[in-house]
């Protein structure tokens, strides 16, 4: 069924109807969970049936055991990675937003800067990880730097698109009452850009998790990427998968945190809902 916009909007403004929202959320989650459970069952059965070694592919039950047994070191590693993601993401967002604002506000400088940013984007940034280790050492800084380099681009590009999405006739209206560039930027362009910005932030948060793991691969003494690397050199495949599960949960939690902020920041924007479009 297709929810109509006005109703969704009203619900968002009136606070919410908890019962209806919970039911709807459950309705959305149940099919996904069922599919996941089905996949796990088939996986488990296949491993047992064909007697596949857990070095090659561990059964879900083995992964679960590894998760429970190593819960403390995994939690410590997850915390280290989460800190990197958080710092990197926030900094990437700041750099991305600032880049877009500078390009729009200072047109000439922006025209010079934009192609350079795009050019920089063609450099495979994962390949920069060893360099960053060389420059910044083994702790937090090189991971944060890598995340910023990877994740600022989608923020900048989407924010830029949002800032430029204001109709020229509205700009003309603002000029017709004597508003200058800065005022138009502040009162019209920036609010207009928020839905686009959020879309960019959603991409950036997933990039941030990737950046943190890659950064840890290149050289680290803590974090989930480090755990994965150590476990794989020891052929402890269940541990590798356990760490991967934690990475996924971490990524999911960050992603939904950003999506939640969308409702607070841009309640007027039509919600993007892939499964509800007909």
Spatial separation of the C-alpha atoms in residues 104 and 190, rounded to whole Å: 11
What's the closest the beta carbon of residue 268 comes to other proteins, in angstroms?
A: 4
Cβ proximity to other proteins: between 5 and 37 the closer is: 5
Site string for other proteins, 71-90 (x = CB under 8 A): --------------------
Cβ proximity to other proteins: between 6 and 119 the closer is: 6
What's the closest the beta carbon of residue 164 comes to other proteins, in angstroms?
A: 15
Total residues contacting other proteins (rule CB under 8 A)?
24
H or E, element range at 221: none
What's the closest the beta carbon of residue 191 comes to other proteins, in angstroms?
A: 6
- Structural tokens at position 91: 């900094």
Spatial separation of the C-alpha atoms in residues 247 and 224, rounded to whole Å: 7
Cβ proximity to other proteins: between 69 and 273 the closer is: 273
Q: Are 82 and 143 in contact (CB under 8 A)?
A: no
**SS3 for 141?**
helix
Q: Are 185 and 105 in contact (CB under 8 A)?
A: yes
Per the rule left: phi > 0, alpha: psi between -120 and 50, beta: everything else, 12 is alpha
What phi and psi, each to the nearest 5 degrees, are found at residue 16? -160, 160
Considering only residues 183 to 212 of the shown chain, the ones binding other proteins according to CB under 8 A are: 183, 187-188, 191-192
Site string for other proteins, 108-147 (x = CB under 8 A): ----------------------------------------
What's the closest the beta carbon of residue 115 comes to other proteins, in angstroms?
A: 20
Considering only residues 155 to 174 of the shown chain, the ones binding other proteins according to CB under 8 A are: 167, 169-170, 172-174
Of 247, 217, 278, nearest in space to 3 by CA: 278
- Structural tokens at position 125: 């940034």
Candidate list 178, 233, 274, 278; residue touching other proteins; CB under 8 A: 178
Which residues 6+ apart lie within 8 Å of 235 measured at CB? 55
What phi and psi, each to the nearest 5 degrees, are found at residue 239? -65, -40
> Is 269 an interacting residue with respect to other proteins (CB under 8 A)?
yes
Cβ proximity to other proteins: between 86 and 171 the closer is: 171
Instruction: Return residues touching other proteins (CB under 8 A).
Output: 5-6, 9, 167, 169-170, 172-179, 183, 187-188, 191-192, 266-270
């Amino acid at each position: 069924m297709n929810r109509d916009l006005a109703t969704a909007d009203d619900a968002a403004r009136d606070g919410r109807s908890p019962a209806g929202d919970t039911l709807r959320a459950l309705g959305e989650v149940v099919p996904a969970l069922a599919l996941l459970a089905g996949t796990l069952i088939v996986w488990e059965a296949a491993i047992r049936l064909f007697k596949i070694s857990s070095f090659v592919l561990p059964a879900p039950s083995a992964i679960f055991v590894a998760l429970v047994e190593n819960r403390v070191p995994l939690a410590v590693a997850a915390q280290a990675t989460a800190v990197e993601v958080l710092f990197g993401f926030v900094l990437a967002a700041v750099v991305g937003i600032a880049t877009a604002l500078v390009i729009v506000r200072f047109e000439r400088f922006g025209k010079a800067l934009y192609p350079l940013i795009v050019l920089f984007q063609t450099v495979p940034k994962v390949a920069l990880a060893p360099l960053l280790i060389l420059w910044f050492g083994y702790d937090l800084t090189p991971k944060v730097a890598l995340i910023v380099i990877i994740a600022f681009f989608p923020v900048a590009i989407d924010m830029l698109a949002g800032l430029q999405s204001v109709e020229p006739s509205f700009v003309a209206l603002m000029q017709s009452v004597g508003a200058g560039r800065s005022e138009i930027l502040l009162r019209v362009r920036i609010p207009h850009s928020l839905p686009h910005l959020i879309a960019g932030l959603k991409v950036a948060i997933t990039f941030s998790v990737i950046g943190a793991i890659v950064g840890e691969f290149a050289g680290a003494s803590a974090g989930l990427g480090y755990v994965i690397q150590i476990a794989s050199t020891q052929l402890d495949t269940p541990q590798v998968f356990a760490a991967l599960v934690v990475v996924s949960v971490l990524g999911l939690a960050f992603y939904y945190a950003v999506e939640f902020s969308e409702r607070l920041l841009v309640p007027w924007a039509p919600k993007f809902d892939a499964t509800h479009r007909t």
